[in-house]
Structure 1
Amino acid sequence: MTRQQLWPWPAGAATGIGSLPGTDIAEAQRIVVGELPALPHLPELPARGPGADLIGRTGGLLVELPVELYAARWRIAPRPGRDLRRARDLLERDLDQLAEQAETYAGPVKVQAAGPFTLATAVELPIGGRLLRDPGAVRELTASLAEGLRLHVEAVARRLPRASVLLQLDEPSLPAALAGRVRTESGLGTYRPVDTTVARSLLSEVITAVGVPTVVHCCASDVPLELLRTAGAVGVALDLALLTDLDPLGEAIDAGLGLLAGVAPTQPPSAGRAPTSAQLADRVRGLWDRLGFPRRQLAEQVVVTPACGLAGASPEYARAVLTACRDAGRRLHEE
């Protein structure tokens, strides 16, 4: 097997993390397909309101576990209702738009959803309190999410029969759940830490059930890289500015984990302009050199991305960042 076959993206690829500004899904999808031709993604537009946010969107995928909004929070509902219909309708509209604009696309396409622990941290039980407090509820949620994501990936594959699907699980809350830092509703206490073995098992359950290459996105300084790798993730998406210890990353990359390198800031710096592709390529190259890996691997194992979602950016800045990421990936590949 050649090295290029180890990762489910072409050498020199760039992609977005997920969210974009605005409410026009047709325009957002045009930008993604145009600016990120090697690894486009299904954009999320949370400005459209509840059901377009990460948690509501993922909640709409759950099987036999309906969700609803209550006091501006998502919770498990006794039966499907208006909030769930809205979330599913928005996603269906987005998939139709993806199919229309990428009908002949034949490469990898990325879709995103919240992972089980971030979902369990955000969604509440019918009686109150986060699902995270009930290990049985977390297991039930994981099974429902695994089946829902399997069906979702199948739906994407039907619409884009020549493409291959890459799944991104967003797990920003995983480090806090593992460390027992998730606060209770009163704010006076925290939920008990999730056991590492349990976390690995449940993440693996989702990844195995979906059956496509999966990367995990986590913007934190203490991402459990070895846990994610051994759970079956093929890559990890990180905000490189948050990394304080490079040794675990080096070990994970050496063991074959792909890296979605978040190097472009989600908001413009004081100068107000997006970084150039040369600046982004330098940041990725600098990290790679500090880790001590040969340059020939870089463009194959690393995908250039923004640091996180771009929903809070201006449309002009978001587009400029995606363009810079694309061109940075090409620079790294051409070296």
Structure 2
Amino acid sequence: MPEAPDRPAVPFSPRLAVTGIGSLPHLSADEGAADVVALCPDFPYWPQFPRLSAAEDMYRQFSRGLPGVRLEPTGRAGGGPAVRWRRDEQVQAELERVYTDVLEAEEAQGGGPGGSDRAEGGTPEGADGVLERWALGPHEACGLAALERALERARREGAAGGRPPVVPVGLKGQTTGPVSLGLTVKDDSGRALLYEEDLMDGVVRGLALRARWQEAWLRETAGRLTGGDADPQVLLSVDEPYLGTFGSAYFPYTPEVVAGYLEVFDEALDAVWGVHCCDNTDWEFILSSPVRFVSFDAYAHGSRVVLYPKAVKDFLAAGKVLLWGIVPTDPDRLGSEDAESLARRCLGLLETLVGRGVPEDSLVRQSMVTPACGLAGLSVEEARRAMRLAVDVSRILRCQCGDI
């Protein structure tokens, strides 16, 4: 596997702060974003609304402009991704467009993330036009503008009530990962895009360009809301539910190829970026990859992650962050748990790692609490309960973690 480049450690200590994964069941974007801002004040995220529009399906949402990928006409929301791939007369031009945009963005930025031409707190100077071609529009990601409105509304209401402004530690976004998109998008014969190496090379670079635009948007939005008085962080999750197939007979790629995909994101982004996988996977591989955080379903698969204490210890020693998805998103399991039971479950996992040599202080400082996955499969009230449980679990753990 390629070694991760020498990048700075995560520049903040979340200490069990709360954020979310992405999707919500709401049919009102403003209502959903308001819930996010109220329940995730430290790290609010822009929500996806697949029930509101088929365009917000996680596979369709990020596919526009990717080489060979075709968006089919959609019916009602929830009817499936309606995305196919084809080798037609447009493919070569689309590949060339992606590679040209990558080169132009790198040249405008001075050669890579953190280059000298980066405008403070935002998009690289000169790269705006390139990245705008990869922008997420309001018709496919209405949660972006809804989050901005909700944050501004919370700021105004706080000021009207004489309360000091609540400044988020950071904002979070997400993108569909190349492995999951490549396994989901098929041609008319049912062949997965993931088997097409030349197209996948263009696809992963296109996804990284769109993630780069998103990072710039989040930085600019955070800076505008704080008036430049703070330095909000940006978390950006590459959502890879299908990494659960990794290592199986059905997975066509080697670890080196997957590591190469992750390197593309690492080279493109300044954000604190990482991978979210809600299935079981090769955690040792993921923890040793270039990602800066790992988000996982700790409720279902935490017992697997703690089997790799050395990998976790090395991961934390590099200054990286674990996102513990301890609140289940299955309605039956969610209904059978409360904050105390979930906190005990999470505390048991933390204690196991500490007992196996992982430093307690690093584990507490470099962890966050989340639901296990997106919440679109729940009712609105169930989704709110899941978010409230994450907040309550965080509070309990912060009180108890000194006794690990």
Q: TM-score, normalised by structure 2?
A: 0.70
Extract unaligned runs of 5+ from structure 1. Answer: 183-192
Deviation at residue 244 of structure 1 after TM alignment = 5.2
- Shift, 1:12, TM fit: 2.5
Give a deviation string over 1:52-75, Cα, whole Å, max 9, x none.
111111214x56666312685312
SS at 2:34 equivalent: helix
Q: Is 1:238 matched with 2:286?
A: no
Rate the CA distance shift 1:6–1:113 in 2: closer, same or farther, 3 A: closer
Residue 322 (structure 1) aligned with residue 387 (structure 2): yes
Unaligned runs of 5+ in 2: 1-8, 75-79, 95-133, 156-166, 227-231
Percentage of pairs with the same residue: 27
1:287 to 336, 349, 360: 349
**Pair 158,40 (structure 1): closer, same or farther in 2 beyond 3 Å:** same
Give CA-to-partner distance per residue, 1:2-24, whole Å, 9 cap, x none.
xxx74645213012121111221
Partner AA of 1:284 in structure 2:
C
Letter of the structure 2 residue corresponding to residue 97 of structure 1: A
SS at match of 2:137: helix
Q: Which residue matches 1:36?
A: 40
**Of 189, 196, 209, which residue of structure 2 is paired with 1:147?**
209
Q: 155-164 or 134-143, which moves further after superposition?
A: 155-164
Q: Aligned pair in 2 of structure 1 residues 40, 275: CA closer, same or farther (>3 Å)?
A: farther
Q: Which has the larger radius of gyration?
A: 2
Name whichever of 104-113 and 165-174 sits farther off.
104-113
Q: Give 1:159 shift.
A: 2.1
Code of the residue aligned with 1:114 in structure 2: it is T
What is the aligned partner in structure 1 of residue 6 from structure 2? Answer: none
Distance 1:269 1:91, change over 3 A: same
State the partner residue of 2:115. Answer: none
Distance 1:325 1:244, change over 3 A: closer
The DSSP-based 3-state class of the residue aligned with 2:370 is strand
**1:260-319 deviations in Å (ceiling 9; x for gaps):** 11111113437x746332222211110011122454344322211112111111111111
Instruction: Supply the AA of the counterpart residue of 1:224.
Output: D
The answer for the alignment partner of 2:128 in structure 1 is none
CA 1:173 to 1:97, structure 2 compared with 1: closer, same or farther past 3 Å? Answer: same
Instruction: Let me know the Cα RMSD of the aligned residues.
Output: 2.8
CA 1:249–1:44: 2 relative to 1, 3 Å: farther
Decide whether the 8 Å contact of 2:302 with 2:349 is kept in 1. no
1:245-324 pair list within 5 angstroms:
245-255=304-314, 256=316, 257-269=320-332, 273=335, 275-291=337-353, 292=355, 293-324=358-389
Counterpart among 265, 270, 286 of residue 211 in structure 1: 270
SS in 1 for 2:60: helix
Aligned in 2, Cα 1:279/1:247: closer, same or farther, shift over 3 Å? closer
Q: Could you tell me which residue of structure 2 aligns to residue 332 of structure 1?
A: 397
1:45 aligns with 2:114: no
Q: 2:139 aligns with which of 58, 67, 90?
A: 90
* Bigger Cα displacement from structure 2, 134-143 vs 88-97: 88-97
| Deviation of the 1:258 alpha carbon | 2.2
Counterpart Cα distance in 2 of 1:10 and 1:245: 23
Amino acid at match of 1:220: D
Q: Matches of residues 135-214 of structure 1 in structure 2 within 5 Å?
A: 135-161=197-223, 162=226, 163-181=232-250, 193-214=252-273
The alignment partner of 1:90 has SS state of: coil
| Paired residues for 1:107-146 under 5 Å | 107-125=169-187, 129-146=191-208
| Counterpart AA for 1:153 | E
Q: Cα distance 1:231–1:295, how it changes in 2: closer, same or farther (>3 A)?
A: closer
- Distance, in Å, in 1 between the alignment partners of 2:220 and 2:305 is 40
- 1:64/1:244 Cα in 2 relative to 1: closer, same or farther (>3 Å)? same
Q: Secondary structure at the match of 1:260?
A: strand
Give yes or no for contact 1:41–1:110 (8 Å, CA) kept in 2.
yes
- 2:331 and 2:190 map into 1 onto residues whose CA distance is 39
Match for residue 130 of structure 2?
A: none
